[in-house]
Structure 1
Amino acid sequence: MRHGAAVSRPPSQPSRLTTGPFRGTTAVARGLLTADQLRSSAWRRLFRDVYLHRDVPVTHELRAVAAAGLLLPGAVVSGRSAAVLWGVELAGAGDDVELTVPPGRHPVRVGGLRVRRASLARDDVERRRGALATTPEATALDLARRLGADDAVVAVDRVLASRLVDLEDLRVRAVRCTGRGSARARAVCALADGRSESPQETRLRLLLLRAGLPAPVPQFTVRAGGRFVARVDLAWPALRVAVEYDGRWHAEAGRFARDRRRLNRLQEAGWRVVFVTAEDLFRPLELTARVDRALADARVRSSGPPTGG
C-alpha cells in the first residue's frame, strides 16, 4: 500500500444494535455510534430516529412493535397492525402502522404511522410480541367499525378464521356497542362467517348474498355413502350445488390433474360445480345469473320426473 493512501474501513456495527430496532439518538448519546456512522449503509431508517441493521428483515410486525415501543411509548397497536401481531396478515411490511393513543395525548404526525386518539378499555388491551395491542376481539370489532363494508367483513372473517375470536361472542358485543361506527359494526358482524379460507371467498359469498341468492354454506364437506368426497368453497347441500373459487394456485404443477379427479368425484356424487375466477368478480351480473341457473336446474332435478299419465 502506498504511503498516505486512504484506508477503507467497514462501518461500525456494535453487536447490541444488530438484532432489532433502536433509537438513533440513544445510540449516539451512549457512544455506540457517531452521527456519521448512523448514516452509513449498515443501518436502515424505519421511522424518524428509529433504525435497524440492514440484515434484519423488515416486517409489519417488527415495525409495529418498534413504533409502539420506541417511537410512541405507551401507544397501543390497533386495527390491521394489531391483527398482524395476532398472526392475521392484514397489512404488508410497508403499510402504515396503526396506533391508538389516549384522547388527551398530543396528536402525532410521523411518516409511516396512522395514529388516532381514542379511549380503550383495560380489558381490550394485552401485551403481544413485546408491545401493547388490542385483543383479538377488540381488534375485530374495531375493524368492523372503521373499514368499508366488504373490506370489513373480509377482515373480520380473517380474524375469525384464526380461531382467536368466537363469532357469537363478537356479535353479542357488537349489539351492545355504542358510539361512532356501531351500526356498521353490527351489520358487518351479522354478515361475517369465519369459515372462508381466503378474502376472495368472502367477497364471492357477499356478492351472492347481495344478488338475493340463498345463503351458501362456506367450506362444506361433501360425503357420499359416509365417505369423504371433497370440501367445497361454497355449497347448497340440499341441492348439491357448489361454487369453487379458482385462484392462481390452481395453476401449480400437478394441480390440474388433482382438480380434475376431485371434480369427477363430486360429479359422481351427484354434485354440480360452478367455477369462479377473479375476472368473474368484475362481471357480477353474469356470475350471479350463472349460479342462479345452476340452483334452478338443481331444483328441477330434485323434484324428479313428473308422475301420472
Structure 2
Amino acid sequence: MARTSHRPSPLEWQVFRGSDAVRRDLVSSNQLRSTAWVRVRHDVYADSRIRLDHTLACRATALRLPVTAVFAGPSAAFLHGVKHAAGYNDDVHVILPPEVRLRSHQGLRIHATEIESDEMEWRDGLRRTVATRTVWDVACWAELTHAVSIVDRLLRRDQVGPADLAGLVERHGTHLSRSRALRVFELADPRARSAAESSLRIRLVTAGIPRPTARHPVKLANGRVLHPELAWPEFRVAVELDHQSPGERSPCLDDIDPELMRRYSRGQLTASGWTVLPVTLHQMRLGFTDFVTSVRRALLDRGWQP
C-alpha cells in the first residue's frame, strides 16, 4: 500500500525543489515518495492535490531555469487560458537570451531569441509573453493545425485582434518564419467554437477542399437561423461535427453552448436544400481520407469546379 505522510504547512499546495525541502528538514527523502507528493521534474515535487496540467509543468520548470526565462508559444497560450494549447506531459516552451547556454531536453523546449520588454508580463508568479507575442511564436513554432486552433481561440476571446496580426506581420517583415506565420494568420477564424472545429477546417483546406465558412447563418423558411459549424454557402453544403458520438467526447469544448448544439437540426437544413455531411471525432482520427472524398464529391455535385 502506498505510504502517506503529513504535509508541512510551508509545502501545502506548493511546487518545490525536493533537495531544498529535505535540507530545510521539512520532509525526508522517504516521505517525498509518499502519496502526499507528486514528482513533476527531476528534484521538483508538488502537493499531489494540485491539478496535473500545463501550469504545474511550467511552475515546476521555472524552479530549474534562470530568472530571465519567459514562457512562450503553446505554454504561454495555455497560461493565457487556451486550455487545448498544451497538456501536462507536453514540452514547456521558454525563451532565453541567446547568451544563456542551456539546451532543450525532454520536457523543455528552449528558444534562444531576443524579446522586448513590452512583449512579456508577470502573472501568477510566472513570466510569460503577452498575447500578441504569443500568437507570433505559436504561428512560427507549432504545427499548422494546432497553431491555427490556438490563434482562433485567442481571437475569439478578444485577446488579440486582426489588427494585431497584421501588425505582427509588418513588424517581423524580414523574419525567416514570416511566411509560415502569415499562413497561420490567414487561416485563422474567430468564429470557430472549439479546437476540434478549427482542426476540421484546416485539415479540409490542406486536403485541397475550398475554405469553408465557420458558423455561416442559414435562415430557414420558418425564420429560424441555424449556424452549421462549416459551410460552403454558394454550394449549399455543410459539415456538422458530431461531438457526442458514442464513447467519445472532445476535450476542447470548454466554450461550446450546449443549447446551440441541441438546437442544431440537420434535418431542417436538409429539408431546405442543403447537403449536410456529419463527421465524428473517430472519423477525424481514423477515417478522414474517406470523409474528405465525401466532401469533395458533395461539392462537385453542387457545381464546384476545382
Q: TM-score range by the shorter chain?
A: 0.7 to 0.9
Which of 173, 179, 184 is the aligned partner of 2:175? 179
- State the shift of 1:77 in Å: 1.0
- State the shift of 1:170 in Å: 1.0
Q: 1:232 to 1:13 in 2, by over 3 A?
A: same
- 1:174–1:189 contact (8 Å) kept in structure 2: no
Q: 1:49 to 1:235 in 2, by over 3 A?
A: same
Residue matched to 2:37? 43
* Distance in 1 between residues matched to 2:189 and 2:198, nearest whole Å: 8
2:72 is equivalent to residue 78 of structure 1: yes
* Distance in 1 between residues matched to 2:175 and 2:221, nearest whole Å: 52
* Distance in 1 between residues matched to 2:263 and 2:77, nearest whole Å: 36
Letter in 2 for 1:273: V
2:140 is equivalent to residue 145 of structure 1: yes
Residue matched to 1:268? 271
- 1:229–1:265 contact (8 Å) kept in structure 2: no
2:233 is equivalent to residue 237 of structure 1: yes
Q: 1:108 to 1:203 in 2, by over 3 A?
A: closer
Greater CA radius of gyration, 1 or 2?
Answer: 1
Letter in 2 for 1:272: T
The count of aligned residue pairs is 287
> Superposition RMSD on alpha carbons, in Å?
3.2
TM-score, normalised by the number of residues in structure 1: 0.79
- 1:100–1:115 contact (8 Å) kept in structure 2: yes
Letter in 2 for 1:84: F
2:62 is equivalent to residue 58 of structure 1: no
Which of 266, 288, 299 is the aligned partner of 1:295? 299
Which residues of 2 match residues 116-265 of structure 1 at below 5 A? 116-177=111-172, 178-210=174-206, 212-224=208-220, 227-247=223-243, 249-251=244-246, 262-265=265-268
* Distance in 1 between residues matched to 2:183 and 2:149, nearest whole Å: 13
TM-score, normalised by the number of residues in structure 2: 0.79
Q: 1:214 to 1:179 in 2, by over 3 A?
A: closer
Letter in 2 for 1:81: S
Tell me whether 216-225 or 130-139 shows the greater mean CA deviation.
Answer: 216-225
**Matched-pair identity in %:** 37
- 1:47–1:110 contact (8 Å) kept in structure 2: no
- State the shift of 1:108 in Å: 4.7
Tell me whether 275-284 or 104-113 shows the greater mean CA deviation.
Answer: 275-284
- 1:221–1:230 contact (8 Å) kept in structure 2: yes
Higher relative contact order (CA 8 A, sep 6+): 2
2:61 is equivalent to residue 67 of structure 1: yes
Tell me whether 280-289 or 206-215 shows the greater mean CA deviation.
Answer: 280-289
* Distance in 2 between residues matched to 1:190 and 1:200, nearest whole Å: 18
- State the shift of 1:181 in Å: 1.7
* Distance in 2 between residues matched to 1:85 and 1:298, nearest whole Å: 44
Tell me whether 164-173 or 286-295 shows the greater mean CA deviation.
Answer: 286-295
* Distance in 2 between residues matched to 1:80 and 1:250, nearest whole Å: 28
Residue matched to 2:18? 24
Residue matched to 2:255? none
> The residue matched to 1:227 in structure 2 has which SS?
coil
- Could you report, residue by residue, the CA deviation over 1:158-182 in whole angstroms, capped at 9, with x for unpaired residues? 3333331113421331243133322
Which residues of 2 match residues 276-287 of structure 1 at below 5 A? 276-277=279-280, 278-279=282-283, 286-287=290-291
Q: 1:261 to 1:179 in 2, by over 3 A?
A: closer
Tell me whether 193-202 or 122-131 shows the greater mean CA deviation.
Answer: 193-202
Give ranges in structure 2 of 5+ residues lacking alignment. 249-257
Tell me whether 272-281 or 55-64 shows the greater mean CA deviation.
Answer: 272-281
* Distance in 2 between residues matched to 1:203 and 1:266, nearest whole Å: 23
- Could you report, residue by residue, the CA deviation over 1:8-52 in whole angstroms, capped at 9, with x for unpaired residues? x96342112011112223323333234444444432222233211
Letter in 2 for 1:180: L
* Distance in 2 between residues matched to 1:290 and 1:117, nearest whole Å: 45
- State the shift of 1:236 in Å: 2.3
Letter in 1 for 2:270: Q
- Could you report, residue by residue, the CA deviation over 1:249-286 in whole angstroms, capped at 9, with x for unpaired residues? 24489x9xx87971222233333212233426766665
- Could you report, residue by residue, the CA deviation over 1:128-174 in whole angstroms, capped at 9, with x for unpaired residues? 23200011221111111112333332332233333311134213312
> The residue matched to 1:105 in structure 2 has which SS?
coil
* Distance in 1 between residues matched to 2:273 and 2:121, nearest whole Å: 50
Letter in 1 for 2:232: W
Letter in 2 for 1:295: L
Residue matched to 2:96? 101
